[in-house]
Amino acid sequence: MSGTVGAPVSRIEGLSKVTGEARYAADFPLAGLAHGWIVQSTIARGRVESVDAGAALQMPGVLAVVTATNAMRLQDVDDGELLVLQDQQVHYRGQTVALVVGDTLEQARAAADGLPVEYQAEPHDVLLSASHPRLFAPDHVNPNLPTDTLTGDVEAGLAGAAVTVDHTYSTPAEHNNPMEPHATTAFWDGDRLTVYDSNQGATRVHQALVRLFGLEDSAVRVVSEHVGGGFGSKGGARSQAVLAAMAARMLGRPIRVVLSRKQLFSLVGYRTPTIQRVRLGSDRGGRLVALDHQVVEQTSTVYEFAEQTAVFSRVMYATPNLSTSHRLVALDVPTPRWMRAPGEAPGSFAVESAMDELAEACGVDPIELRIRNEPVTEPEGGRPFSSRNLIACLREGASRFRWAERDPRPGTRRDGQWLMGTGVAASTYPARSAPSTASVSAQEDGSFIVRLTAADIGTGARTALTQVAADELQVPMDKVEVRIGDSDFGPAMIAGGSMGMASWGWVVVKACRQLIADIDRCGGVPDDGLVARADTADDIAAQADLVRHSFGAQFAEVRVDVDTGEIRVPRLLGVFAAGRIVNAKTARSQLIGGMTMGLSMALFEESLMDAEFGDYLNHDFAGYHIAANADVQRIDATWIDEEDDQLNPLGVKGIGEIGIVGTAAAIANAVYHATGQRQRHLPIRPDRVLSP
């Protein structure tokens, strides 16, 4: 065995990235390439009355102005956001109303900026509230989970509880901002469409384009060789891919469409704002007798997306009486989508803050409170866990963080003008796998090539998959080449839902083992090589009905300026139980990245809606604040050894998202410990800290 799985291996594509050799979606040189620039609506609801393209078409280099009146017709699909330029209706401010195509990007943008568009505006509604008259219960929540759940009698449990907590928590709209903006380069070769696209899974984009353009599977190829981040916003096809393919067909030449930073705030999704009421009831020792988690959030009028915010409560703590619910309102806004740890990230802020409030009310240490409420089986349905090591994470974190030295009284520690405090919160995220396909070929020179439609969005997936294949094939890593990001390799799971490595690693292991068996049967590698193919659909379908989750514990130390309300976070610690770790270096990077994003969620990120104009005001990095280097001080992420033979052949759980879950609550709880004032609404701005 090569023994590379678990080792801290540097990214094998690192040199090509830092030297600029790596090609992203907007980097592929094509003869005759033209550029498209999107024109966005300036009203939040209504109709496009007319687009006067005459002057634009007279400008130098302008090739076409594509609108709803001349765009090619697309096949109907469920996702209305992909049906671009198919009618004159405007559903939200920032919606695509035209595409200007020019020989150069500058020419297309100049013409687009001055394109006259006349509208018939209608009254719009863009504000979420817990009492909105159009609230409704969706059929399901993402990805396909029950909208509401009920175990026992929550109202009776709360009525009989010795101690209760009943508060409302809120999180704002937050926007994914990957380093690489969404981009697509598309061209047609006869009736075959090829797109170089920035996405988290070429398979899903391939499937969308096949349906939209009414093509056979073999007539579409999607390539995503390198991807500069996604955070969920690139989890499926986005409008720029459809527009590039459409314009390329109409003009008969390659077209590239790249979104600007501002356009990302309208066209690729965001995390829905949430309003969450959490009610807890316990005995005087803090043991829960009831938990109720009610969530209100928004969707669009174009496509229904319901974030699974309350699912966090369905798995975390033992209680005989448990209820969760989700309610939506369809507003005149862009469609919310996935954003790192959808559901668990905002849900954990509310529940873990409430648990801290319960610990205070009961006079119980916050860690001890969580340990006392550790379930034996799944609280919602009673199914067994494949593994659950939350208590181990809490205890390991408490030891590393020196929690025992903490004075539990709030507002007692001070260093000059700084109030100091510490907080804790728990984390969880599902450990799932999805069917995927892969092939492994043995070459005459003793090397191997692995092909699968995985995506490396900065996580180090290429490197980790190379480690997995090398170990299975019992060769050094330099004898294995992993090729990913090409839909021609067959369907595979996206890099999302913390399912990538679990899904891809499973099928790579299966294909490698099949290849070894074939080599043994053939008595060696034939002169023309040997290929083994595998898929995992049947394997995954045959899994036992268990609850599979990663767990973790987050610890935060904060300093709060008594005069300005400024918050600094000098120390964050995360301890996780996430199955087998494939690459210690990239895993730590992912966990720290998630924790940094959680810090940003706690203190900075907030998309501000202007009710009059129906748009998010701070749609750039001047107004939308994220954590910068000075904000990220000492962050440490580690894990405990965890073996779980009920997951997949590697024993892998996802780590891409659990790092953000619970971080905001840990910081909020630390701010309370420092100041004695509870922060129930994110972000924790200085004005909120200073408010009585």
The answer to whether 267 and 217 are in contact (CB under 8 A) is: no
Euclidean distance between CA atoms 278 and 270, whole angstroms: 24
When pLDDT is averaged across residues 377-404 and rounded to a whole number, the result is 97
What are the tokens at 13?
Answer: 């594509």
In the chain, CATH 3.30.365.10 sits at 14-21+433-541, 342-431+545-690
Euclidean distance between CA atoms 278 and 276, whole angstroms: 6
Give 256's strand partners. Answer: 35, 185
pLDDT digits (tens, 9 = 90+) for 628-643: 999 999 999 999 999 9
pTM: 0.97
Average pLDDT across the chain, whole number: 97
Active site residues: 657
Euclidean distance between CA atoms 314 and 426, whole angstroms: 14
In the chain, CATH 3.90.1170.50 sits at 34-123+182-217+228-254
Q: How far is CA 514 from the centre of its chain?
A: 33
Euclidean distance between CA atoms 233 and 222, whole angstroms: 17
When pLDDT is averaged across residues 459-483 and rounded to a whole number, the result is 97
When pLDDT is averaged across residues 298-311 and rounded to a whole number, the result is 98
**352 Cβ contact list (under 8 Å, min separation 6):** 425, 426, 662, 665, 666, 669
Strand segments, DSSP code E, in 618-688 are 634-639
When pLDDT is averaged across residues 498-526 and rounded to a whole number, the result is 96
Taking Cα atoms as reference points, which of 365, 414, 673, 480 lies closest to residue 4? 480
Residue 562 has a pLDDT of 96
Is pLDDT of 691 > 90?
no
Q: What is the dihedral of CA 441, 442, 445, 448, to 10 degrees?
A: 60
The answer to whether 97 and 117 are in contact (CB under 8 A) is: yes
> Model confidence at 62, in pLDDT bands (50, 70, 90)?
very high
Residue 350, SS3 per DSSP: helix
> Model confidence at 1, in pLDDT bands (50, 70, 90)?
very low
Beta strands 448-451 and 437-442, pairing class: antiparallel
Fold of 34-123+182-217+228-254: Aldehyde Oxidoreductase; domain 3 (3.90.1170)
* CATH numeric code, 14-21+433-541: 3.30.365.10
CATH class of 342-431+545-690: alpha beta
Residue 2 has a pLDDT of 64
Question: Edge-to-edge strands of the sheet including 480-483?
Answer: 480-483, 448-451, 437-442, 530-535
When pLDDT is averaged across residues 163-190 and rounded to a whole number, the result is 98
pLDDT digits (tens, 9 = 90+) for 223-275: 999 999 999 999 999 999 999 999 999 999 999 999 999 999 999 999 999 99
Euclidean distance between CA atoms 410 and 672, whole angstroms: 7
Residues of 512-540 as b/e, b for ≥16 C-beta within 10 angstroms? bbbbbebbeeeeebeeeebebbbbbeebb
Residue 668, SS3 per DSSP: helix
User: How many Cα neighbours within 13 Å face the side chain of 513?
Assistant: 11
When pLDDT is averaged across residues 73-92 and rounded to a whole number, the result is 97
Is pLDDT of 665 > 70?
yes
